[in-house]
Amino acid sequence: MSTSIVECVNAAVAAVRAKTDLVPQIAMILGSGLGSLADEVENPVAVSFSDIPGFATSTVSGHVGELVIGTLENHVVCIMRGRVHYYEGISMRQVTFPVRVMKALGASTLFVTNASGGISPQFKVGDLMLISDHINFTGTNPLIGPNEEELGPRFPAMSRAYDEGLRNKAKQVAAKLGVELHEGVYWGNSGPSYETPAEIKMIGILGGDAVGMSTVPEVIVASHAGMRVLGISCITNVLHQGPSTDTHTDVLKAASDARPRFINLVRGIVKEI
Ligand code: HPA
């Protein structure tokens, strides 16, 4: 008989609790090239993913695997430094398991960042986009399978997946800091291949402003769990001028160039949450 998610979550929480008693308010998942924010956490306790039962470890460069718990802008945060992706060959349940664990550790808010390709013609490399909504085009859903009522409802609404109050706060902080912040719809593909010209055209026609290979599964699970979600995407390459010839290295370089601005904004928002 397979173990229930609740039992797996409890085992993972116990492994983290053996290292720290801190109760995080905000769970954070940092995308490609942005993991260095975890270095700014005060009094950090870092737990390697490999020491937490049920956590998968990433195979992609730019994604170190550890959970960092500590203080950032006077809030106790739990940062996933590095994340795993569906295209690595793991199940959606494994991809989203850390969200369940961070919720069980106490986090009521999920703040997620990622790198994406710009579809909207207004985007240039390095732009930041507040995620207003998403389109799940991964072809699957992390909630497929038996539903455990204590984790959330069988048929959760996704009408307000990205919390409006948090989005307004993010816009206010961006304006105060003088950081340009666009807003748009994130289109989630499974990857790992980049988009064809026909797919890029389709995504634009169907309402996607940026496209990436992460975030959507984690947000569905966070929303199912009743967490408030805030998502910001860094446009690391532009697709509206034609399909990407960029490599993963180019994506990391663009994310790294935007990093100081991005980190400044993320810290500013955490302070105000
Ligand atoms: N497509 C999909 N995912 C991405 C891209 C892209 O162009 N850039 C960064 N992540």
This prediction's pTM: 0.95
Q: For domain 5-272, give the CATH superfamily.
A: Nucleoside phosphorylase domain (3.40.50.1580)
Percent of the chain with pLDDT strictly greater than 90 = 84
CB-based contact 240:153 (threshold 8 Å): no
Torsion of CA 27, 32, 38, 39, to 10 degrees: 180
The Cα–Cα gap between 248 and 117 comes to 12
The Cα–Cα gap between 115 and 128 comes to 9
Q: Which of 159, 254, 157, 268 is nearest to 212 (CA)?
A: 254
* pLDDT tops 60 at residue 63: no
Contacts of 138 (CB under 8 A, 6+ apart): 86, 92, 188, 189, 190, 216, 217
What confidence tens digit (pLDDT) does each residue in 123-170 have? 999 999 999 999 999 999 999 999 999 999 999 999 999 999 999 999
* pLDDT tops 70 at residue 243: no
Higher pLDDT, 82 or 84: 84
Choice from 32, 202, 251 to test ligand 1 binding pocket (greatest atom count within 8 A of CB)? 251
**Is residue 175 exposed (0-12), middle (13-18) or buried (19+ Cβ within 10 Å)?**
exposed
| Helix (H) / strand (E) containing 170 | helix 164-177
What confidence tens digit (pLDDT) does each residue in 216-242 have? 999 999 999 999 999 999 999 999 776
pLDDT at 240: 74
- Whole-number Å distance, alpha carbon 93 to ligand 1 midpoint, is 22
- Whole-number Å distance, alpha carbon 127 to ligand 1 midpoint, is 14
CB-based contact 130:266 (threshold 8 Å): no
Q: How confident is the model at residue 2 (pLDDT cuts 50, 70, 90)?
A: low
The Cα–Cα gap between 92 and 229 comes to 19
What confidence tens digit (pLDDT) does each residue in 6-21 have? 999 999 999 999 999 9
The string of DSSP letters for 192-231 reads: SS---HHHHHHHHHTT-SEEESSSHHHHHHHHHTT-EEEE
Q: Whose CA is nearest to atom 6 of ligand 1?
A: 117
- Whole-number Å distance, alpha carbon 218 to ligand 1 midpoint, is 17
Contacts of 177 (CB under 8 A, 6+ apart): 264, 265, 268
Catalytic (active-site) positions: 32, 63, 85, 87-88, 115, 213-214, 237, 248
pLDDT at 252: 83
Percent of the chain with pLDDT strictly greater than 70 = 95
* pLDDT tops 90 at residue 28: yes
Q: Which of 92, 108, 124, 119 is nearest to 216 (CA)?
A: 92
Q: What is the overall mean pLDDT for the chain?
A: 93
Contacts of 33 (CB under 8 A, 6+ apart): 62, 115, 251, 252, 253, 254, 255, 256, 259
Q: How confident is the model at residue 1 (pLDDT cuts 50, 70, 90)?
A: very low
